[in-house]
Amino acid sequence: MTTPATPPPAGYRALFDLTGRRALVVGAGSGIGREAARALADFGAQVGCADRDLAAATDAAGQAGPGAYPMQLDMMDEAALTEAAAGLPDLDVLVFTPASNVRKRLLAYSAAEFDQVMHLNLRSSFNLVRAFGKGMVERGRGSIIGFTSIRAAVTEPGQGVYAASKAGLVQLLRTAAVEWGPAGVRVNLIAPGVVETPLTAPIRAVPQWYAAYADKTVLGRWARPSELAGAVVYLASEAASYVTGSVLMVDGGWTAADGRYTPPE
């Protein structure tokens, strides 16, 4: 006979309370990262706002409110990642969003462009997760949240290398979840669809392209960066205490729908 589930002593609302948690958002200078930092701070976490642009990181920390602090950090600098991890020995939550994309068909890609995309999206993510994950494993706790993309599952002409990097990130972080789960560290990913961020500015500048992507979602529009923040808070919190190795799709239904013809009733 199944024992009825009981809420935690403080009630279910308390599962989302991040008071006392120490979080670092890498890529907090703009877009999704900035909103993630604000949301984590709103739920009580002490948030470090890291970005390679210190002015942007400082502005983000100001928006996140009291207790938030800026940090200059370049994800592509492995030594800087190691140093940053050593300076944050009690980190509970790591969120990272930086990514690069060169939109070209495969036959037009250069080796340098391939390396550029793969270096930030995959190799630097590998270095970042290992730098901070080591301490989390040693302490026996932590939540790591990476940002992949719908391109890890579906692609289109001109997105091959970006898609490959994001699919690789999924398997990299799933492996971290498998290896570090026994130590109490959870590792998950969020997969956005089309979001109005600096990375997508070239697309949004072309009305037809912008509209085509909006129509591909079942909600008929692009996401705002703030609409990814709830997923970050959830995965960082005790509400997701049994969630690891997962990819949370936040894509407006893009990957749920196959085709757009609606047959008559």
As to burial, measured by CB atoms within 10 angstroms (0-12 exposed, 13-18 middle, 19+ buried), residue 220 is exposed
162 is catalytic: yes
Active-site pick, 12, 69, 109, 162: 162
d(CA 188, CA 121): 16
Residues marked as catalytic:
162
